[in-house]
Amino acid sequence: MGMNERPALVIIGGGMAGQRLLEALVAKGFQARTGLRIVLIGAEPAVGYNRILLSPLLAGEVERDALWGRPAEWYRAEGIELHRGDPVVAIDRSRRRLTTASGAGVNYHRLVIATGSRTRRVRVLGDAREGVSEFRTLGDVDALLEDDLVDLPVCVVGAGLLGLEAAEGLRQRGARVTVVHRGAWPMNRQLDAEGGRQLAARLASRGLAFELERTLAEMRADRGGRLQALKLDDGRWLEAQRLIHAAGIEANFELGRDAGLECGQGICVDDRLVSSDPLIHALGECCEHRGATFGLVEPIWAQVEVLAAVLCGEPGCFEPLPSATRLKISGIALYAFGDPCPCAGDRWLRYFDPGSGDYRALCLNGGVIRAGNLINDTRLGPAWYHHFLARTPVEPGDDWLFDAASIARPSQHQDPIEEIA
């Protein structure tokens, strides 16, 4: 990795946030406007792939080629210096110099840290040298696809978005999957209790097994260090030859912390995505803004637009908005937003059709929408979400659960149930 006399904007991280920023900078003519060249350094051998498609790739629903965005020729044509598979290990702020794992040095004029996140691993007693992995990168998925998964007993820890998508992908590959989750229902941070039960029932009918309100206590391996079984906190043992950690994420902020940047749960940034060093920005899952970190695409795309403007000398201010959540599992449509945890003054409107599997739940509080869940037919989701963001004054009424133009009114035995928490 040779040095170039022309000063550089260096982006550390070749994931979706770093790639999106590249695209935005190219569209704005950044290099011509600033005189800075662009260097992208990625820790993984592959850069710019669509991580959202890892679940469909594992399930066999898309081909590997579907993950790729720009070819190598695009980077060369745009004058972007690309380095892959050689992560940055140190930032020397006084010299404005980076050191990579291979020992190469790169100088920067401006720096963007977009190192993403990693899977949060739960602590389990015991030691298995084989069979324990994560579901986060293309390398993780490739390792799973190299296995013969048919009839393989697999345990996935975590029934959030990541865990459920990993579990269903493994099931579609033939594995016998048990999902262990400390919550009382899947996606308990996005769904109300009834919605969580409906989702669990739908997934269980496909063959997924659930151990809810449970944690792992111990693992057992054979003499060769290969995982054989997992013990639950109630003392029962589960057969498991693979353990997949998918219980949330943690920001990869250590690079910034070790360089002396202000950090909390991530690298702290202001509204312009500037860290405590005015020459260094942080973007995406590795950053912390006003005490919050980010794991969904929408707020990170908003960060990209702000940072691209700021780097080009334009005004920009990041104002995060609540995001809607969509589950990426074939045959199951889900749309959720807001906080489903009970709150004083909540009034829930709910509707369930056992024939179609449609579930709709809308939480009103203080005359506005506070949360919404839809499973199966999600067409009302964007409209609900729009009113949620706008804090539109609403009156409680069954009409909010139905789109008269396209959805038939329910029969008497399917009347919506209004509940007050």
Q: Which phi and psi angles does 144 have, rounded to 5°?
A: -70, -40
Cβ 114 vs Cβ 13: under 8 Å? yes
Cβ 118 vs Cβ 249: under 8 Å? yes
Contacts of 215 (CB under 8 A, 6+ apart): 122, 180, 182, 232, 233
User: CA–CA separation, 294 vs 205, rounded Å?
Assistant: 32
CA geometry: angle 9, 33, 37, nearest 5 deg: 30
**Using DSSP, how many helices (H) and how many strands (E) does the chain show?**
10, 26
The helix (H) or strand (E) run that includes residue 146 is helix 138-146
Residue 368: exposure state from Cβ atoms within 10 A (0-12, 13-18, ≥19): middle
Cβ 39 vs Cβ 5: under 8 Å? no
Ordered per-residue pLDDT tens for the chain, 421 residues: 444 468 999 999 999 999 999 999 999 999 999 999 999 999 999 899 999 999 999 999 999 989 988 888 999 999 999 999 999 999 999 999 999 999 999 999 999 999 999 998 888 988 888 999 999 999 999 999 998 999 999 999 999 999 999 999 999 999 999 999 999 999 999 999 999 999 999 999 999 999 999 999 999 999 999 999 999 999 999 999 999 999 989 999 999 999 999 999 999 999 999 999 999 999 999 999 999 999 989 999 999 999 999 999 999 999 998 889 998 888 899 999 999 999 999 999 999 999 888 999 999 999 999 999 999 999 999 999 999 999 989 887 767 888 634 333 344 334 343 333 3
Domains by residue range for the chain, with CATH: 8-118+249-311 (3.50.50.60), 132-245 (3.50.50.60), 333-420 (3.30.390)
Does the pTM surpass 0.85? The reply is: yes
User: CA–CA separation, 205 vs 115, rounded Å?
Assistant: 38
